[in-house]
Structure formats: C-alpha cells, structure tokens
Amino acid sequence: MTEAVLDASVILKWFRATGEHGVGAARALRAEFEAGRAVVFAPPLLFLEILNIAGRRWRLPPPQLHHLASRLPDLGFQLVEPDLLFLARWVSAGLTAYDAAYLAVAEQLGTRLITDDRPILDVAPHLTRPLVDHA
C-alpha cells in the first residue's frame, strides 16, 4: 500500500480541473486512494487551504462552499499535526509555515510529500516527489 503526504496543490485538482496543470496525475492518485491502495496524510491546515482557494480564487457561492466544507472531513485522510521543530527547520529554509507543515509531516512519518509546488520541490528534493515529472 502506498503512503504519502499530499498538499493542497494536489488535492485541489481533485475538485476542479479548470486552469490546473497535472489534473490527470492528481486524479490518478485520487483513484488509488479511493480504491484503498493508498493512504493520504496531511496536516489539518489542508482543509483551511482548500476552503480558502475555493472561496477566494474559485469564488464558489456560499451554498457550494458550504457543501465542500461539509464533505472535507469525510475524505478519510489521516490528519497529522506537524512537529513544530521540523516545521521551524523548513521555515528557516525559506518556506511559508503552511508549506513547511506538509514537509514536517512527511519528515515525521518517514514518507514523501507529493506536490505541484516548485519552491517545496526545490527546498526538499529528498522528501518530495513532483506530481508530474517535468523532465
């Protein structure tokens, strides 16, 4: 069984494809998760990030935003509070605390973070895997 930390740059593509890069790869991960062949870990702030993007960038109207909010806890992700010492290491490397939280969880669990966020990939290539290989 595959285990990975997924960040908002990946999970957002599960809900909306318009204007997004790597949707096929993100949705393949979703299919693996829904089939029970993958375990997804994330810090609890994942849900805050999703709602922030859905409300501010996508401008979902209140009924749709409320529906999305009600569905998020039922996704079945394993939420892990990031260790603040690990988080501080990644913040000191130049990441926001939000991005650092995903790396901290990956480091704590000894797994990889799958992301479509270039700054995260650049700072921690040993702990990350790109959603889409750009080679």
Does residue 135 register a pLDDT over 80? no
Give the side-chain half-sphere CA count within 13 A for 16: 18
pLDDT tens-place string over residues 108-120:
999 999 999 999 9
Mean pLDDT confidence for 96-115: 97
Q: Which phi and psi (to 5°) does residue 4 adopt?
A: -160, 155
pLDDT tens-place string over residues 25-46:
999 999 999 999 999 999 999 9
Give the side-chain half-sphere CA count within 13 A for 64: 11
What Rg do the C-alpha atoms of the chain give, in angstroms?
14
Residue that has been written with the tokens 């806890």 in this structure: 73
Does residue 76 register a pLDDT over 50? yes
pTM of the shown model: 0.92
Which domains does the chain possess?
2-130 (3.40.50.1010)
